[in-house]
A = this chain, B = another copy of it.
Amino acid sequence: MGLTKTEIFTEEQNRLATMLKALAHPARIAILQQIIKANACICGQLVDELGLAQATISQHLKELKNAGIIQGTIEGVTVCYCIEPKAWKLLQKDLSIFFKSFDVKNCC
């Protein structure tokens, strides 16, 4: 089917899954690492840095933008991308809570 049954899950479960999916690709991890490293946001250098076509990078950027993780500002011919701090912090917190909810107890 390829169609996730979102109706049967909670808001929270769907939201977390959506955000994780946005991160769940090595190219998008690499893009985020580059943006973070360069701090002063990057744009098309990503195409040079990573070994992917311009159209592909643009598509990954779009996904990250749709998820609200990054934001792009047009600067002349260029587009400058950077982390959206609010979304970043929120996801960081949600994941922290999720991972902390398990405290090691031997079961099986």
Give the interface of A toward B (CB within 8 A). Answer: 4-6, 8-10, 13-14, 16-17, 20-21, 23-30, 33, 36, 39-41, 50-52, 71-73, 75, 80-83, 85, 88-89, 91-92, 95-96, 98-99, 101-102, 104-105, 107-108
Given contacts A4-B25, A20-B20, A27-B9, contact A88 B82 (CB under 8 A): no
Task: Report A91 CB to chain B, min CB distance, Å.
Answer: 7
Copies of this chain, tallied across the complex: 2
Q: Do A20 and B30 have beta carbons less than 8 Å apart?
A: no
Q: Do B13 and A24 have beta carbons less than 8 Å apart?
A: no
Q: Which residue of B lies closest to A72 (CB)?
A: B108
Kindly list chain B residues whose C-beta atoms are within 8 Å of the C-beta of A52: 5, 8
Q: Do B24 and A17 have beta carbons less than 8 Å apart?
A: yes
